[in-house]
Amino acid sequence: MTITGIELIRYPRGITVHAGTVDWLWVRIHTRSGLTGLGETYPCSDAEAAVIERELAPVLLGRDASHIDRLWADMFLAVAYHGWAGAEMRAISALDIALWDLAGKAAGQPIHRLLGGASRDAIPVYNTCYDRVDFLTDPVRLAAELRSMGISAMKIWPFDPIARRTGGNTISAAEMREGMEPLRAIHAEFGTEMQVAMEFHGYWNLPCARKIARACEPFEPMWLEEMLPQDNLAAYRELQSSTHLPLTISERLMTRWGFRELLENRAASTIMPDICWCGGISEAKKIASMAETYYLPVAPHNCGGPVLHWASAHLAANLTNLSILETVRRHYLEEYRGLLTTDLVTEGGFLPLPGGPGLGVDLSADALARPNVTRKLLG
């Protein structure tokens, strides 16, 4: 499968999340055989497209698409000197997903079978609450709606507004009560019937994080996610030693080398790579295998576009040490609709195993025809 072209498809959504604009970049790898492979990354389509055009397309064009490991290593070598923890790695991730899609199509098998087969009949999920029902003002209603769908775990970030006011450097008793209220209300209504993961987006310093963790302990949340910035894992080790609650990190760590220190210093109880950021399906599988040697579960971060959603489902189907997969019901019920040829939605609180060769899905004609979508073919 000789690579003859790399197509860059930018979808500028204009949606702001956590003070940044989130766009999706889709890539399609074209081959001489006529097969194409689909990949995706986010959130800065202009930056990631530039890396592919300038640095990575020259590495891939004319090469055999089936040599996934060799191509990954050569792409990494092309960008490692000048930086590989941002747009460079996100760009590699998109291309790696597309290479796996191609491999599955060539073999006539879903990606999860190429990874070693399915480890489960359906994929357990939790819901990240980017929702029309606001968890800050109506957390019980939101939890009830999710329960009616069979979903028994949800993720919220009620301390973020406080961190933006204080810079994450101080928290008063009144602010602590404010941040705790959604968790308290859900726990009071549902008890252990709804697990609540607490997300912090790396906004807090270590003393405040310790205080918040102590306040959360009576309610036994599913985990505390990214309480600190992800670039000082020794501080995370200090935080973990001060609470019995599990810590989860982090979609912002990239490559197996980025996760190595996290695993070695026992700073987290659950490992959370993002396929579109960490280095693609190839690297996420290696990170999960590393975590397994420390007897740690993996809960892939899945809060990007529709291709990530499908790719994450393939990885989650395969991993023997999967804990749970992130999903966003507003994404798969609304924002993804019409973008792909098939939808992948929860059934009774689980995702079904994705079928079809490769990813099992492609971009729809409607998505490609949208006026804000731009396309560029390299090669």
* CA pair distance 298, 249, nearest whole angstrom: 10
pLDDT given for residue 83 in this prediction: 76
Q: Cβ of 12: how many Cβ atoms within 10 Å?
A: 15
Mean pLDDT of 47-69: 98
Is residue 19 over pLDDT 70?
Answer: no
Q: In this structure, are residues 125 and 321 in contact, taking their beta carbons and an 8 Å threshold?
A: no
C-beta of residue 158 within 8 angstroms of C-beta of residue 183: yes
Q: What is the dihedral of CA 101, 105, 110, 111, to 10 degrees?
A: -30
The confidence band for 178, taking pLDDT boundaries of 50, 70 and 90, is very high
Say if residues 43 and 21 touch (Cβ distance below 8 Å). Answer: yes
Weakest mean pLDDT among 75-89, 139-153, 174-188: 75-89
Q: Does domain 3-109+363-378 have CATH number 3.30.56.10?
A: no
| Structure token pair of residue 247 | 């810590």
17 has pLDDT over 90: no
Token output for 42: 């986010």
Over residues 345-373, the pLDDT tens digits come to 999 999 999 999 999 999 999 999 999 99
Residue 284: which pLDDT band, with cuts at 50, 70 and 90?
Answer: very high
* Contact between residue 110 and residue 308 where contact means Cβ atoms under 8 Å apart: no
- Calculate the average pLDDT of the chain: 96
pLDDT above 70 coverage of the chain, percent: 98
186-208 per-residue burial string, b: 16 or more CB within 10 A, e: under 16: bbeebeeebbbbbbbbbbbbeeb
What lies within 8 Å, CB to CB, of 127 at 6+ separation is 146, 151, 153, 154, 155, 327, 328, 329
Q: State yes or no: pLDDT of 16 exceeds 70.
A: no
CATH 3.30.390.10 placement within the chain: 3-109+363-378
Instruction: Write the CA distances from 316 to 112, 115, 368, integer angstroms.
Output: 8, 11, 28
Q: Which CATH number does 113-352 carry?
A: 3.20.20.120
pLDDT tens string 99-137: 999 999 999 999 999 999 999 999 999 999 999 999 999
